[in-house]
Amino acid sequence: MSSQAQNTDIVEHFDKNRAAEYDKDIVSFIPGYDLIHESNLAMFREKNLAKANVLVVGAGTGKESISLASGFREVNVTAVDPSKAMLESLKSKVNDLKLVNIDFICDYVANLKGESFNFANSILVMHFLPDRGEKLDYLREIYKRLEPMSELILVDFMKIEDECQDRAIMQAMKNYQLSISPSPEKIEEAHEKIKTNLHRITESRLFDLAEKAGFFKPIKFFQSFLIGGYILRK
């Protein structure tokens, strides 16, 4: 399958799965979801970038975009997502909040023109891309749009080298999700989609891809079951 065809499948996945319900479902499916975004804000605050340009890749319904734009009114956020349904959900929230410092681009990061950024997010995005060159291309496209010494905050479903441990932690995560979710059937469905829709990689593979893309060695800042968060510095 070509890279463009794979990207089209990702867009259709989100359009068909009711973008309006994403915010409600994601909290029970991603252990530590709120903490991921609170950590993202804390790391941005630590940079002390008063008038930064921030790139949010795979902006979805806008958790990180809105948090950054509302928490730092002098910052300009560029929210990029190829899914029109997801961006429409984000735009509706932005209008309700009367935020004026978010730009919306319904496209892929590879098609962005001109602008450079001081900080970037890729939260729960890259695991949808196969590792046949697509992940490396994705990281390179973000890298070349960052200013020197800028950081990319990347969070993904990861894979553990040892298959037995990987299965065991996946099951433990599922048990936790089932214990807090009001819709157990959605958790079962989501785990089936992990098998078919996600292309998880090991931490060592991520480090290899990051280096090839030009980044310094990633620094881990978050771990919840199989979900890992990393700082990639240009």
Q: What is the pLDDT of residues 141-180, one digit of tens each?
A: 999 999 999 999 999 999 999 999 999 999 999 999 999 9
Q: Look up residue 111 and give its two tokens.
A: 């098609």
Q: Report DSSP state, residue 218.
A: P
As a whole number, mean pLDDT of residues 26-35 equals: 91
Whether residue 75 is predicted with pLDDT greater than 60 in this model: the reply is yes
Q: Look up residue 51 and give its two tokens.
A: 């008038």
For residues 112 and 115, give the distance between their C-alpha atoms in angstroms, rounded to a whole number: 8
Nearest to 136 by CA among 210, 80, 202: 210
Helix or strand (DSSP H, E) at 32 = none
- DSSP one-letter string for 152-167: EEEEEEEE-SSHHHHH
For residues 218 and 208, give the distance between their C-alpha atoms in angstroms, rounded to a whole number: 10
pLDDT at residue 15, rounded to an integer = 54
- DSSP one-letter string for 131-188: TTTHHHHHHHHHHTTEEEEEEEEEEEEEE-SSHHHHHHHHHHHHHHHHHH-S-HHHHH
Q: What is the pLDDT of residues 81-116, one digit of tens each?
A: 999 989 998 999 999 999 999 999 999 999 998 889
**Which neighbouring-strand residues pair with 80?**
57, 105
Query: Contact at 8 Å (CB) between 160 and 202?
Result: yes
Q: What is the CATH number of domain 3-233?
A: 3.40.50.150
For residues 208 and 215, give the distance between their C-alpha atoms in angstroms, rounded to a whole number: 10
For residues 36 and 27, give the distance between their C-alpha atoms in angstroms, rounded to a whole number: 11
Length of the chain: 234
State pTM to two decimals.
Answer: 0.90
Q: What residue ranges do the domains of the chain occupy? A: 3-233
